[in-house]
Amino acid sequence: MNKLKYSLLILLGACSYGVLSSIMKVGMKEGFTVNQMLGGQYVFGWLMLLVLMLLFSRKKVSAKQWLALMAVGITMSGTSVFYGKAVERLPASIAVVLLFQFTWIGVLMEAAADRRVPSRSKIISIVILILGTLLAGGVVGESAGPLDMKGVVYGLLSAFTFALYMFVSGRVGTSVPVLNKSFFMTTASGIIVLSVFSPSFLWNGAIGEGLWKYGLILGLLGILIPVLFFAIGMPKVGSGTGAILGAAELPAAVVASVLLVHEHVSTLQWLGILLIFIGIAVPQIRISRKKRTPAYEPSETGVNL
């Protein structure tokens, strides 16, 4: 795979995340709570990864690698917990805009770690993405009123933990097969999420009443696909570019809200979505131009499954 193909994997993983909120809204109409569906997402996603790992990747993982991957899983769970707290205290449009600050945070993390200034294309991309996010999130033209400062802090923490997850996912356990890596990260993340949001759905009959359907869908789209695709793609494209590609989550969320729950999307929101896609494309255009220019490129190692 070349770099653009790895970028596509991250793009697909981000879009997969974006569909989750609309599926949860459908589930809420059937009487299930967000906590139940979030718990189901982790339980069923974890089970899918377990089955795939046992079937295709029975590789030994050292204790040091295991602990490092569990630590990555903690950053993964932070986004779910902090974003859930932000949504409880803030309008949804404000909460999602705060979450999407992970784009520039991720670029800064990569720049600090690599001790180099972000490229001009990334800076241009970030500016376009921030404007697009404000429009697509429905913030422009709305009066949010006084904001709960705890909610704002939770929203920014969700952005930081998501950027941190992308960063460490691309740098920790890169020699571990992706199925094993994804399984251990999800294990730690699931333990934390279930300890914060009660796992009572496991024994109160909710699964038999239909929660299992949402658990399977959410586990596939919220755990299996994005975690695997990020584990494969992040080490190849870098966390800065990965954070920019991750912005595709918001357009996917808006489109899913139209198709699944028939929500109204304004002209400004569609303009925001267009800007987000332009912002995502800017670094990829630079990559394409580089590939057309003869230059030495270090060989890439294959991805272990």
Separation between Cα atoms, residue 258 and residue 193, nearest integer Å: 29
Nearest residue to 9 via CA among 232, 255, 223, 164: 232
Residue 64, pLDDT > 80, answer yes
Instruction: Give the per-residue pLDDT at 284.
Output: 67
Instruction: Using DSSP, state whether 205 is helix, strand or coil.
Output: coil
pLDDT band, very low/low/confident/very high, at 240 (cuts 50, 70, 90)? confident
Contact assessment for residue 240 and residue 89, using Cβ atoms and an 8 Å cutoff: no
**Tell me: the pLDDT tens digits for 127-164?**
988 888 888 877 766 555 567 788 889 989 989 998 99
Least confident of 74-83, 100-109, 206-215, 281-290: 281-290
pTM above 0.95, yes or no: no
pLDDT band, very low/low/confident/very high, at 293 (cuts 50, 70, 90)? low
Separation between Cα atoms, residue 178 and residue 246, nearest integer Å: 19
**Tell me: the pLDDT tens digits for 186-218?**
999 999 888 887 788 888 888 888 889 999 999
User: Which two tokens mark 176?
Assistant: 């571990």
Domain map (residue ranges) of the chain: 3-288
Contact assessment for residue 276 and residue 42, using Cβ atoms and an 8 Å cutoff: no
From its phi and psi, is residue 112 left (phi > 0), alpha (psi between -120 and 50) or beta? alpha
Instruction: Using DSSP, state whether 27 is helix, strand or coil.
Output: helix
For residue 298, what is the DSSP state? P
Contact assessment for residue 53 and residue 168, using Cβ atoms and an 8 Å cutoff: no
Residue 41, pLDDT > 50, answer yes
Residue 38, pLDDT > 70, answer yes
Residue 105, pLDDT > 70, answer yes
Helix 267-292, helix 239-246: angle, nearest 10: 150
Contact assessment for residue 156 and residue 34, using Cβ atoms and an 8 Å cutoff: no
Separation between Cα atoms, residue 102 and residue 75, nearest integer Å: 13
Mean pLDDT, the chain, as a whole number? 83
Calculate what percentage of the chain has a pLDDT beyond 70.
89
pLDDT band, very low/low/confident/very high, at 296 (cuts 50, 70, 90)? very low
Radius of gyration of the chain (CA): 19
Separation between Cα atoms, residue 194 and residue 190, nearest integer Å: 6
Residue 20, pLDDT > 60, answer yes
